[in-house]
Amino acid sequence: MRNIYWILIFISSQSFSQNSEWRGYKLDSLAEFQLPSQNANLFDSIDNGIKIYELSAKFNGINYVGSKSKVEQFILPSNKTELTELYNDAIFQIAKSFPNSIETKTDIVRNGYQGLKYILLDENNIPLYSAELYLLEDNLFMFYCINDAKDGSVESDYFFKSILLVEKKGAEQITGDSSFLKMIKLFKIEIIVILGIIGLIVVLIIRNRKKTA
């Protein structure tokens, strides 16, 4: 069951010009960025138990979005390979919304944090969808633009350059358990049951030997 709450926030008293004044916003204490509007839409939802927090604005046919979602403890990466896999899992369905698009992925680093740059291009190499993903602690941050105008005049460069990931002591990316420990936690109940059965069998064997001795 999905619960969605819409709130309009950050209403500035200054006028909104045709050229669009960019304003700074924070997703939390770790990440901030700019949007081309004094009026940003806040989208706060819970989807399958995962809380998603999103700020967005639209200007000249371009949707600019910054979002934060909690990552379950079980899937937090324990190495850089798993970190990349987490990013890929977060975007693997997006291309389906842009048929015949050309997909590109690039590893990037911003403020010392490893991230992923993801772009979908049309046949004229015009970006239809551009995104950057970063995992900080147990939060996945996604910053992306959707080009509804499809005229090539995307101000995404400025949008992405405005992203600031605050360097904070303890804000790590590799925080998950090893694959072995994850497997143990996943099948913890099954393992306990199996060990219990094995223990029972051992006891029965020992008792049977005593009887026959």
Q: Is the pLDDT of residue 55 over 90?
A: yes
Q: 208 or 162: whose pLDDT is higher?
A: 162
CA dist 157 and 90 (Å) reads 22
CA dist 213 and 12 (Å) reads 89
- Structurally, at CATH architecture level, domain 3-165 sits in 3-Layer(aba) Sandwich (3.40)
Write down the mean pLDDT value for the chain.
Answer: 76
- Residue 207's pLDDT band (cuts 50, 70, 90): low
Residue the block writes with tokens 């069998």: 201
Q: Is the pLDDT of residue 95 over 60?
A: yes
CA dist 84 and 110 (Å) reads 15
Q: Is the pLDDT of residue 142 over 60?
A: yes
CA distances (Å), 133 to each of 21, 184, 189, in order? 25, 29, 34
What was the pLDDT predicted at 50? 72
> How would you class 30 by CB atoms within 10 Å of its CB: exposed for 0-12, middle for 13-18, buried for 19 or more?
buried
Element (H, E) at 190: helix 188-212
Nearest alpha-carbon partner for 16 in 45, 33, 51, 40: 40
- Residue 85's pLDDT band (cuts 50, 70, 90): very high
CA dist 142 and 134 (Å) reads 7
CA dist 137 and 176 (Å) reads 10
Q: Which of 13-17, 117-121, 152-156, 164-168 has the highest mean pLDDT?
A: 117-121
Element (H, E) at 81: helix 80-91
Q: 104 or 75: whose pLDDT is higher?
A: 104
Which phi and psi angles does 22 have, rounded to 5°?
-85, 135
What was the pLDDT predicted at 199? 57
Please compute the mean of the pLDDT values over residues 2-14 and round it to a whole number: 33
Q: Is the pLDDT of residue 35 over 70?
A: yes
What was the pLDDT predicted at 188? 47
What was the pLDDT predicted at 12? 32
Phi-psi region of 152 (alpha: psi -120 to 50; beta: other; left: phi over 0): left
Tell me the domain boundaries of the chain: 3-165, 180-212
Q: Is the pLDDT of residue 83 over 80?
A: yes
> What is the token pair recorded at 34?
């700019």
What was the pLDDT predicted at 90? 92
Pairing of strands 62-70, 139-147: antiparallel
Please compute the mean of the pLDDT values over residues 62-83 and round it to a whole number: 90
What was the pLDDT predicted at 10? 34
Nearest alpha-carbon partner for 65 in 147, 153, 168, 125: 147
> How would you class 20 by CB atoms within 10 Å of its CB: exposed for 0-12, middle for 13-18, buried for 19 or more?
middle
Bridge partners of residue 117, in order along the sequence:
106, 132
- Minimum mean pLDDT range among 49-53, 76-80, 181-185: 181-185
Answering whether pTM is above 0.85, one says no
